[in-house]
């Protein structure tokens, strides 16, 4: 292969590989797992991954365009504030998921049948449609602002000779993120579905552990960037 073509091809393949690896960052996995645990269906969970990746791609494309078209450079403070917002998002998601878990608990209701009054209980199972349509996409947009631009996209962009190659790099990077996160969603969805079928106690324990770990990760994320 001609060296003039080999270098751009290598950069583009690097973008795809970095995107696939980048999706597995712990803050990304923690955030998407909250949505998966709420509606533990493999297909829905894979779709959460796609929606997250779409939001992530939108932000990366937006930031990349600033560099390509306007030749702007982002101040270090931008990265810091973006990381703080990611930490806050993880905390909010952890608290939100624990709150919904409490709502899923068994409730006792009183019913009157003629002269008799009795009580019975029921539980709110997962898959109750609590996930807002745009929530995974919004979270992905927040994640796209932190770290991705400088570390994974903008440095290789400066080595490219044309804007269309740079945008192709961004597209392949984003495609890598989407493939990996949707695949993770599908596997994790099967795992959580099996947990719900095994027993409510196991499912609840799993949700509590993932929620608390995500919340703690958010706290650490904030402290690291203060």
Query: What mean pLDDT comes out for the span 149-162?
Result: 67
Evaluate if residue 124 carries a pLDDT over 50: no
What the block records as the tokens of 52 is: 């997250």
> What is the pLDDT of the chain when averaged over all its residues?
83
pLDDT level of residue 8 (50, 70, 90 thresholds)? confident
Q: What is the pLDDT of residue 109?
A: 46
Evaluate if residue 118 carries a pLDDT over 50: no
The Cα 93–Cα 76 span in angstroms is: 26
pLDDT level of residue 136 (50, 70, 90 thresholds)? very high
pTM recorded for the entire structure: 0.84
Q: Where are the domains of the chain?
A: 14-103+128-225
Q: What is the pLDDT of residue 151?
A: 61
Q: What is the pLDDT of residue 166?
A: 84
The Cα 135–Cα 142 span in angstroms is: 11
**What are the pLDDT digits (tens) for 38-82?**
888 999 999 999 999 999 999 999 888 887 787 777 777 888 899
Q: What is the pLDDT of residue 121?
A: 41
The residue that leads in pLDDT, 120 or 205, is 205
**What are the pLDDT digits (tens) for 184-195?**
999 999 999 999
Evaluate if residue 219 carries a pLDDT over 90: yes
């Amino acid at each position: 292969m001609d060296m003039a073509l080999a270098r751009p091809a290598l950069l583009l393949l690097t973008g795809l590989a970095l995107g696939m690896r980048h999706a597995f960052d712990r803050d990304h996995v923690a955030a998407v797992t909250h949505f998966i645990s709420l509606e533990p269906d493999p297909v829905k969970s894979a779709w959460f991954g796609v929606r997250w990746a779409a939001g992530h791609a939108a932000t990366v494309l937006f930031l990349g365009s600033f560099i390509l078209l306007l030749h702007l450079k982002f101040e270090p403070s931008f990265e810091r504030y973006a990381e703080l917002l990611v930490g806050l998002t993880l905390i909010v998601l952890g608290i939100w998921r624990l709150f919904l878990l409490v709502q899923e608990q068994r409730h006792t209701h009183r019913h009157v049948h003629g002269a008799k009054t009795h009580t019975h209980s029921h539980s709110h199972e997962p898959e109750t449609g609590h996930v807002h349509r745009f929530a995974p996409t919004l979270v992905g947009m927040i994640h796209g602002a932190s770290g991705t631009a400088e570390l994974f996209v903008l440095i290789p962009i400066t080595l490219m000779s044309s804007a269309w190659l740079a945008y192709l790099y961004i597209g392949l990077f984003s495609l890598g993120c989407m493939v990996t996160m949707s695949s993770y969603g599908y596997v994790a969805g099967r795992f959580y579905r099996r947990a719900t079928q095994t027993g409510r106690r196991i499912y609840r324990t799993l949700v509590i552990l993932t929620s608390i770990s995500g919340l703690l990760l958010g706290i650490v994320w904030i402290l690291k960037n203060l």
